[in-house]
């Protein structure tokens, strides 16, 4: 059972796992598992106790009491065909019937970073049409953050940003664990030892004697790698209002980083489904995702604690690297890690229960209805000022800055007011300064490859010229030596005759 701060995430998770309660991750006392009461919306109540038993023993099976009559929905035998399906982790479909691209991302738990080509293939397939994009993340429990950024890269109107803002928790254990590690500092584009960041802590005071110690902010991630891995693939830009992300609120870890980045930078419509039905009309309580924080396994911090916990089949992860919204330069506010801030969804869907291929049409029709509402009517989410309606009528001071119409306080697009918010590659939008700034660490991969190829050709030609020159030189020396030998021979013969 996951102890999550969001009731919607709790509901989504427990709805799918209530029959298979998993207590391995958290210790409970006996009293915690006794006299449990569940109250339903119709005021019906049931009381029960959990029974803990050893699976190796034979347990007497007792007849279970039927609490409710549930009519099972007949399951269709129609199998949905995906254009790409990698181990049910990542799936893609070009849906020509509904005119939409669909990406299903179960998690990001690939074995290593060699599977980036799958996203390149998806990007190429999407280039062949002008359809909008729907992404479904269903109980996504994260994995390798590298792929979360790759997915963000192939979706966005522009780069989310080239930098991820974060800091490390300031304590001795974290310092000890990380002191020999290095980071690539995107302020000066150099590799530095992490130890220097633990000299003087920054302190956030939340009141009521609650303080938060952390290192100074720094840019902790560079999307340069995304350029490199996807350099052989091209992307057709969609407007942010043509990209829709489904989340059940549970989306975890790297999945959360993906969703919160998309939303924070106005790069898509975030739609909540499943979750707690009792709060179905309260979008402000539906957090789009959970725990965008890096963790260390307890075994890497304290072997003794780890071994003791493993005796009871318990595992524990310790958060150490926290990420923040892009307001880090504002010293007049209290900085709160993303993990403890609610990132509100744009829309709440009426879909409940987890996704499966049998429900494909239900998800797609609902998603397209929302996309159509944002693009073909005046409607917009008045609480999301980051999401803009891109339009060519919005012109700005340079060719690398983009934007669109804003959403007014009445929830309608204001076709007379433009706002800048997006940048070309090689730049990132700074919300604090409200403009596109040049990324000092950005490298134009295509130019680099051209220069590399050109340099290689020049080097090859130079080598050939040197080889030809040396061979000619050698031949000339040999000719001179041969001529010298002939002269010497003639002189020798003449001396002999004398």
Which tens digit of pLDDT belongs to each residue from 286-321?
888 887 887 777 777 777 888 888 887 777 778 888
- Which pLDDT score, from 0 to 100, does residue 106 have? 92
Q: How confident is the model at residue 471 (pLDDT cuts 50, 70, 90)?
A: low
- pLDDT band with cut points at 50, 70 and 90 for residue 24: low
Q: Which residues contact 422 (CB under 8 A, 6 or more apart)?
A: 157, 158, 266, 388, 390, 401, 402, 403, 429
pLDDT score of 311: 81
pLDDT of residue 492: 40
Cβ-count burial of 188 within 10 angstroms (0-12 exposed, 13-18 middle, 19+ buried)?
exposed
Indicate whether 222 pLDDT > 60.
no
Give the pLDDT score at 490: 36
pLDDT on residue 31:
76
461: three-class secondary structure by DSSP: helix
Intra-chain end-to-end CA distance of the chain, in Å: 115
**10 Å Cβ neighbour count for 466?**
10
Nearest Cα to Cα of residue 288 among 313, 314, 262 = 262
| Residues forming a β-bridge with 90 | 86, 105
Mean pLDDT value across residues 339-356: 87
pLDDT of residue 114: 82
Helix (H) or strand (E) holding 173: helix 172-178
Is the pLDDT reported for residue 13 higher than 50?
Answer: yes
Q: How far apart are CA 263 and CA 261, in angstroms?
A: 5
pLDDT of residue 22: 57
Q: Which of 2-16, 270-284, 298-312 has the highest mean pLDDT?
A: 298-312
Q: Are 322 and 339 in contact (CB under 8 A)?
A: yes
The Cα 465–Cα 484 span in angstroms is 28
Q: Are 413 and 375 in contact (CB under 8 A)?
A: no
**Distance (Å, rounded) from C-alpha 346 to C-alpha 382?**
9
pLDDT of residue 484: 47
Cα 239 to the center of its chain, rounded Å: 19
Is-contact 310 25, C-beta < 8 A?
no
| Tokens linked to 204 | 């956030």
Residues 442 and 365: their CA atoms lie apart, in Å, by: 40
106 contact partners, CB below 8 Å, separation of at least 6: 88, 89, 90, 138, 139, 140
- The reported pLDDT for the residue numbered 493 is 42
* Mean pLDDT of all residues in 57-65: 50
Instruction: Identify the DSSP state of 199.
Output: S
Which of 18-27, 154-163, 290-299 has the highest average model confidence (pLDDT)?
A: 290-299
Task: Quote the pLDDT of residue 462.
Answer: 60
Residue 302 CA to residue 126 CA, distance in Å, equals 47
Burial class (CB in 10 A: 0-12, 13-18, 19+), 192: middle
Half-sphere exposure of 403 (CA within 13 A, CB side): 24
pLDDT of 362 reads 95
| Residue bearing the bigger pLDDT, 51 or 105 | 105
Tell which wins on pLDDT, 238 or 180.
Answer: 238
Q: Which of these ranges, 105-119, 175-189, 481-495, has the smallest mean pLDDT?
A: 481-495
pLDDT at 191: 77
The predicted model gives 333-349 an average pLDDT of 84
Q: Please, which pLDDT band fits residue 487 given cuts at 50, 70 and 90?
A: very low
Q: Is the pLDDT of residue 102 over 50?
A: yes
pLDDT at position 369: 97
Angle at 370 between CA 130 and CA 248, to 5 degrees: 105
Closest residue by Cα to residue 175 from 155, 196, 145: 196
User: For the chain, what is the largest distance between any 2 Cα atoms, rounded to a whole number of angstroms?
Assistant: 137
Among 359, 415, 338, 347, which Cα is nearest to 384's?
Answer: 347
The CA distance from 239 to 391, in Å, is 9
- 3-state class of 19 per DSSP? helix
The mean pLDDT value of the chain amounts to 76
Residue 470 has pLDDT above 80, yes or no: no
pLDDT of residue 260: 83
What letters, b where the CB count within 10 A reaches 16 and e where it falls short, cover 338-365? bbeeebbbbbbbebeebbeeeebeebbe
Higher-confidence residue of 232 and 81: namely: 81
pLDDT band at 131; cut points 50, 70, 90: very high
Q: Are 108 and 144 in contact (CB under 8 A)?
A: yes
| pTM, to two decimals | 0.75
Q: 403-457 pLDDT, tens per residue?
A: 999 999 999 999 999 998 888 877 878 777 888 888 777 764 444 434 444 455 5
Residue pair 215/183 in contact by the 8 Å Cβ criterion:
no
Report residue 347's pLDDT band, with 50, 70 and 90 as the boundaries: very high
The label of the residue with tokens 């902790």 reads 220
* pLDDT band with cut points at 50, 70 and 90 for residue 368: very high
Section 351-364 average pLDDT: 92
């Amino acid at each position: 059972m996951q102890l999550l701060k969001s009731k919607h995430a709790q509901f989504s998770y427990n709805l799918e796992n209530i029959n298979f309660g998993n207590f391995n991750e958290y210790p409970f006392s006996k009293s915690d598992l006794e006299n449990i009461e569940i109250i339903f919306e119709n005021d019906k109540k049931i009381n029960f106790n959990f029974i803990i038993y050893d699976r190796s023993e034979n347990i007497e099976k007792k007849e279970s009491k039927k609490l409710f009559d549930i009519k099972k929905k007949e399951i269709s035998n129609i199998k949905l065909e995906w254009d790409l399906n990698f181990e049910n982790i990542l799936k893609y479909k070009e849906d020509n019937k509904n005119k939409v691209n669909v990406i299903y991302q179960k998690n990001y738990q690939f074995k290593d970073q060699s599977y980036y080509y799958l996203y390149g293939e998806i990007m190429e397939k999407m280039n062949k049409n002008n359809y909008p994009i729907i992404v479904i993340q269903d109980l996504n429990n994260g994995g390798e953050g590298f792929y979360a950024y790759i997915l963000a890269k192939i979706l966005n109107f522009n780069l989310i940003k080239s930098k991820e803002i974060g800091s490390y928790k300031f304590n001795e254990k974290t310092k000890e664990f990380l002191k020999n590690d290095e980071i690539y500092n995107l302020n000066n584009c150099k590799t530095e030892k992490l130890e220097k960041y633990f000299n003087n802590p920054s302190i956030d005071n939340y009141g009521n004697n609650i303080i938060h110690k952390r290192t100074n902010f720094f840019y902790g991630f560079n999307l340069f790698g995304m350029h490199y891995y996807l350099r052989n693939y091209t992307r057709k830009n969609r407007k942010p209002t043509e990209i829709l992300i489904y989340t059940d609120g549970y989306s975890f870890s790297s999945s959360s980083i993906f969703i919160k980045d998309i939303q924070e930078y106005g790069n898509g419509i975030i739609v909540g489904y499943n979750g707690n039905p009792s709060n179905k009309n309260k979008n402000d309580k539906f957090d789009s995702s959970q725990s965008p924080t890096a963790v260390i396994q307890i075994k890497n911090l304290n072997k003794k604690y780890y071994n003791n916990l493993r005796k009871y089949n318990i595992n524990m992860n310790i958060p150490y690297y926290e990420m923040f919204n892009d307001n880090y330069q504002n010293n007049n506010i209290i900085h709160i890690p993303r993990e403890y801030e609610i990132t509100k969804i744009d829309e709440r869907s009426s879909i409940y229960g987890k996704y499966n291929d049998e429900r494909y049409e239900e998800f797609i029709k609902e998603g397209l209805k929302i996309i159509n509402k944002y693009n073909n009517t005046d409607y917009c989410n008045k609480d999301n000022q980051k999401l803009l309606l891109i339009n060519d009528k919005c012109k700005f001071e340079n060719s690398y800055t983009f934007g669109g119409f804003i959403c007014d306080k009445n929830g309608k697009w204001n076709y007379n007011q433009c706002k800048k918010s997006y940048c070309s590659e090689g730049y990132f939008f700074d919300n604090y300064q409200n403009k596109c700034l040049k990324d000092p660490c950005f490298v134009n991969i295509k130019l680099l490859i051209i220069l590399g190829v050109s340099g290689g050709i020049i080097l090859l030609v130079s080598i050939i010229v040197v080889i030809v020159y040396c061979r000619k030189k050698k031949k000339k020396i040999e000719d001179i030596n041969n001529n010298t030998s002939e002269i010497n021979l003639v002189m020798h013969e003449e001396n002999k005759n004398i």
